[in-house]
Chains A and B, each alone.
Chain A
């Protein structure tokens, strides 16, 4: 099908998922103000889930119908299989987070857990909207706007525990870091705009390609501009050296928010990074005559990110903080795919994102379930003896941790397998070095994941009574463990589906 560019009115039909989310956000605000207290939280959850089902369902429908690729709003947004795939992923992740953050009920529950829920669900939904836009934006303005939308909502959510010193401290660090990173990104964008005289990624690509052919190398301005923009993207995916905020924010934020930040915005960051590189810089289809600096840059970032993440995770006592460092390391693994930037590399990144969603969300969910029962204790000691106190949840945690390490038979193994195979198929001594660093890092990560396993099964805690996990949490956790295992033994169709969904507007 030919690519068409739609004007503002004609675009609306293809923008329906986001329109649904916007309507739901407005409805949530009204509901928060006008609903009876008894029905408030149930209504909030129902509205959020309905909007997400609409958004994800429409994405799936567009995928099934193989609609597109088109350009929406005079080229501001792309409508292609890539953006639709991410619509589905984000709707799934946000839906899991909504279920995850339904506050507990009953007489013994502290009232502050049930306060400000209207704001909470509204912010979560706006975040989801921003992530959809990030994956679809094809224009420097939209990249900036959607990134800021996601960032600003994340700042508020990170500081959501209003009387908690750690939460507000994390939020302040996040806001400062995010502001600086987006400022630097903006400055880089202005240089890209200056040399290409266009903000549309497709036009930028044509201009950069012409300049590159003319000068025989990538112009320095493009390099500097891209490096500046990497600050913004790198902060979003928490890649070194822009990762410093991650552990503090993740530890301070409420656990559902931490789970969300570690999966949703990170996946969106990768989506926008993939689109920017393949679209504006033409990294996928670069003419072989001109050596581009991007693979080496991405490889260095990947090595630094995973090494720093894994080494810092080693000594952590707080499981939430440990998972924060581990999520930095996983950003490093995914960046490995960028150092190839073949279609196989991008497919491996996207598939890894899918598997990472399941395992990381699940791991955070177990942390939340445990902390809820131990009075907010998130350290290793709360996990002692969990194998006997809550066998099902502990078993799910084993699946998630094994998968995060990247051992068979779990989804994490398959994801890493595709990443490394994309790396080695591309060949070259440099990529062998990258692959070896990646494998060594996976071995390091085994140490700290195994500490949790040991605490759960081999150590005895002070408490031995069974842990009463809320049914909603337990069910969602198990529902996440099943695909984590299933994708480890039978991944073919899913991988093919993801790989075929990457045809992008260029």
Chain B
């Protein structure tokens, strides 16, 4: 009987990564794109923990994941602050409507 192993975690992480990338590419709303970025980061975090548990056998993967979570939060905070700024100046946070910078 096969246990739930590394490959399962990697598959979930790969699916998360793919969904995140898909979200980033298809969403027009800036906040939606940022949600996709979070998915990608979580895919990487899941990979780190899974590899640490099944391959390396220490704690560095978990430590890395804590850092990913914290940095993701601070990046999201900065990003949302910038989104507020953009909304104030443009009255829109749709990526395809921000066209004041163009060739």
Question: Interface residues, chain A, CB within 8 Å of chain B?
Answer: 140-141, 144-145, 148, 151-152, 155-156, 159, 162-166, 168-173, 175-176, 179-180, 182-184, 186-187, 189-191, 193-194, 197-199, 247-248, 251-252, 312, 315-316, 321
Contacts and interface: CB of A to CB of B under 8 A. Distances in A.
Given A186-B68, A312-B103, A316-B103, A172 B17 contact: no
A162 B41 contact: no
Interface string B69-103: 00100110011001101101110010100101101
B85 A183 contact: no
A396 to B, nearest CB: 28
Given A148-B71, A172-B30, A176-B24, 7 more contacts: A141-B60, A141-B63, A152-B78, A159-B82, A168-B86, A175-B78, A183-B44
Contacts of A159: 82, 85
Interface string B10-43: 0001000100110010000010011011001101
B101 A152 contact: no
Nearest to A145: B67
B71 A173 contact: no
25 contacts: A140-B64, A144-B64, A144-B67, A144-B68, A152-B78, A159-B85, A164-B89, A168-B82, A168-B89, A171-B82, A171-B86, A173-B98, A175-B79, A176-B33, A176-B95, A179-B79, A180-B24, A182-B75, A184-B40, A189-B44, A190-B47, A193-B47, A194-B55, A251-B101, A315-B103
A165 B90 contact: yes
A156 B82 CA distance: 8
Interface string B42-57: 0111011001000110
Contact of A187 (B17, B64, B95): B17
Contacts of B61: 193
Nearest to B84: A168
B101 A248 contact: yes
Interface of B: 13, 17, 20-21, 24, 30, 33-34, 36-37, 40-41, 43-45, 47-48, 51, 55-56, 60-61, 63-64, 67-68, 71, 74-75, 78-79, 82-83, 85-86, 88-90, 93, 95, 98, 100-101, 103
Q: Is the interface of B mostly helix, strand, loop or mixed?
A: helix
B60 A187 contact: no
Contact of B100 (A166, A171, A191): A166
B73 to A, nearest CB: 11
B60 A155 contact: no
Contact of A180 (B37, B45, B85): B37
B100 A165 contact: yes
A172 B82 contact: yes
Nearest to B14: A187
B40 A190 contact: no
B56 to A, nearest CB: 4
A144 B67 CA distance: 9
A320 to B, nearest CB: 11
A191 B43 CA distance: 11
A189 B82 CA distance: 28
Given A186-B68, A193-B61, A194-B51, A169 B40 contact: no
A199 B60 contact: yes
Nearest to A197: B56
A193 B45 CA distance: 12
Given A165-B89, A187-B43, A316-B103, A193 B79 contact: no
A82 to B, nearest CB: 24
Interface centre among B60, B67, B101, by most chain A C-beta atoms within 10 angstroms, is B101
A247 B64 CA distance: 33
B74 A152 contact: yes
Nearest to A163: B89
A247 B100 CA distance: 12
| In the A-B complex, the 7 residue pairs with the closest CB atoms | A183-B40, A190-B47, A186-B44, A179-B37, A194-B51, A165-B89, A168-B85
